[in-house]
Amino acid sequence: MSSVSRRRIALLGFGAVGQAFVRQVVDSRGALMERRGIEVDVMAICDRSGVVRGRRAGQAGLSSSSRSAAVRAGKDQSNSGEFAPVEPLDDEILCDLVEHKAAGVELAAHERGEECGGAAAIVSELPFDAIIVDCTATAAVTPTLLAHLDRGGAVVLANKLPLVGTLDEYDAFESAAAEGRAAWEATVGSGVPIIAALRRMIDADDIVSRIEGTFSGTLNFVATELRQGRALSEIVAEARALRFTEPDPRADLGGLDMARKALILARMLSWKLDLDDVGIEGLYPRWMDAMDVEEFMAALPGLDAEVRDRVEAAGSRDAVFRHIATVADGKCSVGPAEVPVDSPLGRLVVTDNLVTFNSRWYDPTPLIIQGRGAGVDATAAGVLADVVAIAVSQGHEL
């Protein structure tokens, strides 16, 4: 191709999704260049312990503290958006970092690793037009992301928490999305294009009256296995081992994770709601929130009989016991429900997500989107698709 659109990125969070994302960046280089003329340059990767970042020219052989000082000294203080002459991390280093982190070793312990002052310090050293990819699971990064957007940067979110904070914070992300500088496909549907579908409907002024579905691959896995007669505690332990759940399974079983997703969809419809406005009913009593994670897992068998009774009662009525989110009439709710066996929701299996949209143009038959809803690779693919979309819309020819 006659020109290359280069986009420099920094990855915040290097857990399972972050590692899968980096693998996909490496594996897709040839295809992205051939199809889109895009080169993705990874400038920095950080976890809770520290950071590995690209070196400035002539930095080879410097200690991590000397490299850090050199970066600070060479940092461009102008507002030109140009990064001080730093080389991206090459694919050999990226693959090595994935192996290093997958082995359970923190980035600060890597030979290229160094401690840092947190996400804000890393982002401050990036060019203003860089894409920050947030694969963390914390709201603490929200001010850093908003500051980067404010100076003209771009943000891709796999992390739901920045979008369910204050309405002012959400509005800032939405404004950036309207400019092609923010995207969050992986927050709701993993790799299923729920956000993209809703965005297209909104852009076409197709008034959405109701969104209903189950967009928790974890809860769908649980529901599928419960129908097979398995115990809740056994299923949750397996889902946790497969990394289908959040680090604390209660975020899924309590309905909180799905509630956050429902709130994001409602806010995209311009509904002025907060998380406290979402009605939530989970699969366990709230007093179990006082336990730590391992205590909760040990106590979970005590719920097996009650949940089994609810599943069997639904089956006796030719229905399926599921967790459903509903966004309608200006309200959001999440909780257990019985759906007909022969309905789209009733036919779901394993970890698929399914969402239905009723709107001006999709009525009485709704638009239905279904697909894999759990697993780090599907989520990482959603993140990569967002990076590519921003790179295409705001590409820079070099």
Tokens at residue 358, please?
């009723």
**DSSP secondary structure string, 271-300?**
----GGGSEE--SS-GGGGGS-HHHHHHHG
Q: 142-146: long-range contacts (C-beta < 8 A, 24 or more apart)?
A: 142/169, 144/118, 144/119, 144/120, 145/173, 146/172, 146/173
For residue 364, whether the previous peptide bond is cis, meaning omega lies within 30 degrees of 0, is yes
Q: Residue 131's beta-bridge partner residues?
A: 9, 154
Determine whether 75 is an active site residue. Answer: no
Residue 39 CA to residue 28 CA, distance in Å, equals: 10
Q: 232-239: long-range contacts (C-beta < 8 A, 24 or more apart)?
A: 232/283, 232/300, 232/303, 232/304, 232/307, 232/308, 233/297, 233/300, 233/301, 233/303, 233/304, 236/297, 236/300, 237/297, 237/300
Residue 29 CA to residue 42 CA, distance in Å, equals: 12
The DSSP output letter for 357 is E
| Catalytic residue from among 160, 261, 272, 331 | 261
Using CB atoms within 10 Å of the CB of residue 28, give its burial: 0 to 12 exposed, 13 to 18 middle, 19+ buried.
middle
Contact 254, 284 (CB under 8 A): yes
Contact 58, 123 (CB under 8 A): no
Residue 24 CA to residue 11 CA, distance in Å, equals: 13
Active site residues: 261
